[in-house]
Copies of this chain bind each other. A is one copy, B any other.
Amino acid sequence: MTFFNEQPVTAADKTFFQLRKDIVEGEVASGSKLSETELSTKYAVSRAVIREAINRLESCNLVERKANVGARVVTLTPEGLVELYQVRESLEGMAARLAAKNMTDQEIGDLNVLLNTHFQKVKTGESYYQEAGDVDFHYRIILGSKNKHLISMLIDGIYHLVRMYRVQLGMTGPRITTAFDEHKNIVQAICNRDEELAEMLMRRHILYSKNNVEKKLEAVN
The one of B52, B67, B150 that contacts A83, using a Cβ cutoff of 8 Å: B150
| Cβ-based interface call for A73 (8 A) | no
- The residues of B that contact A152 with a CB separation of less than 8 Å are 61
CB <8 Å contact, A83 and B10? no
The one of B87, B94, B149 that contacts A149, using a Cβ cutoff of 8 Å: B87
Instruction: Give the dominant DSSP class at A's interface.
Output: helix
Q: List 24 A-B contacts (CB under 8 A).
A: A9-B68, A13-B67, A52-B55, A55-B55, A55-B56, A59-B59, A84-B149, A86-B94, A86-B147, A86-B149, A86-B150, A87-B91, A87-B94, A87-B147, A87-B149, A87-B150, A87-B153, A89-B94, A90-B90, A90-B93, A90-B94, A90-B150, A149-B158, A153-B153
Listed in ascending order, the chain A residues whose CB lies under 8 Å from chain B are 9-10, 13, 48, 51-52, 55-56, 59, 61, 67-68, 80, 83-84, 86-87, 89-91, 93-94, 98, 147-150, 152-153, 157-158
